[in-house]
Amino acid sequence: MPDGTIYLIDTNSLVTPKATYYPLDLAPTFWASMAEKIQDGLIAILDLVKKEILKPKEKDDLALWITELNIGQYVDHRQQEIVNTYANVLQSIQDDPCYSEKALRAWADQSVADPWLIATAAVYGYTIVTFETYVHINKGNPSGTPKIPNIAEKFHVRTTDLFHMIRDLGIRL
């Protein structure tokens, strides 16, 4: 069972399982268990993640699912401490010679949830759940695509994948 960890879920950790191995119609127990953990506040939802899921013009079953959720820890990214930390996240990309200007532009788009996830997790001590993995980068070939685990590490934010969270929280398929 959980050790007090609260997970903050990246959009890809909801969209990928829905689109691949846990479609809502084939794995209803998984989604009901996820909903229960979200309602209980063991999985936090950032407002921008919910917005990304609701973005497509054609609302799908995942959009309906998240709309109907009773979210125990729903985080508004506009909280001052989160905004301040978000600025630090962007500054860390700008200051890092391993990232190009393209990387900064990609994450400076305020509708992109990734830097906000890191800022939120840093403020609240959450662990980010993402399918992104740490990549080795170097200043000889600066990256244009920052990855959550790389930047999160700079802010002492833990990251994990969906499967670790499923096991830790006892989510059933």
Q: Is the pLDDT score of 1 beyond 50?
A: no
Residue 105 sits in the same domain as residue 58 = no
- Number of domain units in the chain: 2
- Identify whether 154 is part of a domain: yes
Q: Is the pLDDT score of 24 beyond 50?
A: yes
Q: Is the pLDDT score of 168 beyond 80?
A: yes
Residue 53 sits in the same domain as residue 105 = no
Residue 48 sits in the same domain as residue 30 = yes
Q: What is the pTM of this model?
A: 0.96
Among left, alpha and beta (phi > 0; psi -120 to 50; other), residue 141 is: beta
Task: Report pLDDT digits (tens) over 58-74.
Answer: 779 999 999 999 999 99
Cα–Cα distance between 20 and 16 in angstroms, integer?
A: 6
Give the pair of three-digit tokens for residue 107.
Answer: 């994450």
Q: Is the pLDDT score of 151 beyond 60?
A: yes
Give the pair of three-digit tokens for residue 70.
Answer: 């009773």
Residue 63 sits in the same domain as residue 108 = no
Give the pair of three-digit tokens for residue 79.
Answer: 């909280």
Residue 33 sits in the same domain as residue 97 = no
Residue 115 sits in the same domain as residue 154 = yes
Residue 72 sits in the same domain as residue 97 = no
Phi, psi of 20 (to 5 degrees): -120, -90
Cα–Cα distance between 10 and 25 in angstroms, integer?
A: 22
- Identify whether 2 is part of a domain: no
Residue 70 sits in the same domain as residue 120 = no
Contact call for residues 139 and 97 (beta carbons, < 8 A): yes
Residue 120 sits in the same domain as residue 90 = yes
- Identify whether 32 is part of a domain: yes
Residue 104 sits in the same domain as residue 135 = yes
- Identify whether 1 is part of a domain: no
Q: Is residue 158 classed as helix, strand or coil in its secondary structure?
A: coil
125: Cβ contacts below 8 Å, ≥ 6 apart: 6
Residue 61 sits in the same domain as residue 95 = no
Average pLDDT of the segment spanning 131-136: 95
Q: Is the pLDDT score of 2 beyond 70?
A: no
- Identify whether 91 is part of a domain: yes
Cα–Cα distance between 46 and 126 in angstroms, integer?
A: 11
Phi, psi of 96 (to 5 degrees): -90, 115
Q: Is residue 72 classed as helix, strand or coil in its secondary structure?
A: coil
- Identify whether 58 is part of a domain: yes
Range of the domain at 60: 7-76+160-169
Residue 105 sits in the same domain as residue 139 = yes
pLDDT band at 3 (very low <50, low <70, confident <90, very high): confident
